[in-house]
Amino acid sequence: MKTLLLYASKHGATRNAAEKLAGQLEGEVKIINLQDKGSADVSVEDYERVIIGGSIYIGKIQKSISKFCETNLEKLLKVKKLGLFICCGEEAKALEQLAAAFPAELLKKAAAKGYFGHELKLEKLNFVSRTMIKKITGVKKNESKIKEENIKKFAEEMV
């Protein structure tokens, strides 16, 4: 089964999670960072499985992801298997933020919906972002909490 795995990642957490997921999927997997490439040459209709993931900043998923979902909504609804995931720092709000990140039609269609944890590298952030993240998540030092078990479950649900 051919899989398209699209993601957006500001500091690398979602990229790490996407790469871990790709390693657990059977068959050919094409991974595209939507922020690097844009979506002009991405044809979802060429794939049986499509997986889309991004990270949450101030309550929202990256614009490149929401724009891609809006533009390709009809095509995504016809894909054989669809999976959606997020990375975010506030685990207690993960489901709520996932529900707000993707169009309702896609959430309804998705065979798998996942929260893949988060990573925080404070040295990569400017002062404003560092202050904001400490306030939002309470995290005060570097953290890597990618949820391996959630990625495994997601991969199984996408079979």
Ligand X SMILES: Cc1cc2nc3c(=O)[nH]c(=O)nc-3n(C[C@H](O)[C@H](O)[C@H](O)COP(=O)(O)O)c2cc1C
Residues that bind ligand X (CB under 6 A): 9-14, 55-59, 87-90, 93, 97, 118-120, 125, 129, 132-133, 136-137
Shortest spacing between CB 47 and ligand X, in angstroms: 22
Q: How many CB atoms lie within 10 A of CB 65?
A: 25
Looking at the Cβ atoms of 10 and 109, the one nearer to ligand X is 10
Shortest spacing between CB 74 and ligand X, in angstroms: 28
Residues whose CB falls within 8 Å of the CB of residue 89, separated by 6 or more in sequence, listed in order? 56, 118, 120, 133, 136, 137, 139
Looking at the Cβ atoms of 12 and 103, the one nearer to ligand X is 12
Shortest spacing between CB 10 and ligand X, in angstroms: 3
Shortest spacing between CB 144 and ligand X, in angstroms: 9
Looking at the Cβ atoms of 5 and 79, the one nearer to ligand X is 5
Looking at the Cβ atoms of 47 and 115, the one nearer to ligand X is 115
Looking at the Cβ atoms of 29 and 120, the one nearer to ligand X is 120
Shortest spacing between CB 122 and ligand X, in angstroms: 9
